[in-house]
Amino acid sequence: MKDKITKDAIEAMLRVDHAGETAAAKIYDGQLAILGNSSVGSTIQHMKDQEQEHLDTFNKLLIENDTRPTALLPIWNIMGFGLGMASAVMGKKAAMACTIAVEEVIGEHYSKQVEALGTERPELKKTLMKFRDEELDHLNIGVDHDGRDANGYQIMKTIVQFGCRTAIKISEKI
Ligand SMILES: [Fe+2]
Ligand SMILES: [Fe+2]
């Protein structure tokens, strides 16, 4: 039988998810600063709106579970915005490549959490599954908008995903 999930483990989950959604919202903000008036502006705005909903949910969950956010929140804000802007400056396809890279990691991350919860915290599990599906929708939007055709797609994906995975590891702890 699986051990019960500790309160610490739940708090770590909420903290890292809150950090991730903070950065995600900022990535799309950064992209909107450059591409807001372009043909992909409304598509990016749609993803941004969903990230904001995710973030609002984790803000509420942190309070309900009496959990502090990561101490590194200001850094994730800046890095997220910077990544969004930098990718958008390289063009629409590069912005979408960034989305593919980020959302693939976040999707996997939520899937792992859903699995870890097992039969516990069914309400939270339902929320995480909904968000996971929305992140995978974002990934598909990136694919549909030719993100994989961006110049230097593979190298960019590798770098962005390494950054995301490192940020996740750090946010679980600090
Ligand atoms: Fe999200
Ligand atoms: Fe997303």
Query: Does domain 7-173 bear CATH number 3.40.50?
Result: no
Relative to the alpha carbon of 137, which ligand is closest? 2
CA of 143 to the centre of ligand 2 (A): 13
Which residues, 6 or more positions from 104, have their beta carbon under 8 angstroms from its beta carbon? 139, 161
Q: Which ligand is nearest to the CA of 54?
A: 1
Q: Where are the domains positioned within the chain?
A: 7-173
**Tens of pLDDT along the chain (174 residues)?**
456 788 888 999 999 999 999 999 999 999 999 999 999 999 999 999 999 999 999 999 999 999 989 988 999 999 999 999 999 999 999 999 999 999 999 999 999 999 999 999 999 999 999 999 999 999 999 999 999 999 999 999 999 999 999 988 888 878
Q: Which residues are close to ligand 2, an ion, with C-beta < 5 A? A: 135, 138
∠ CA 121-124-129, rounded to 5°: 120
Best CA proximity match to 22, nearest among 95, 102, 86, 87? 102
CB 167 within 8 A of CB 23: yes
110 CA to centre of ligand 1 in angstroms? 10
pTM: 0.91
Give 131 Cα–ligand 1 centroid separation in angstroms.
6
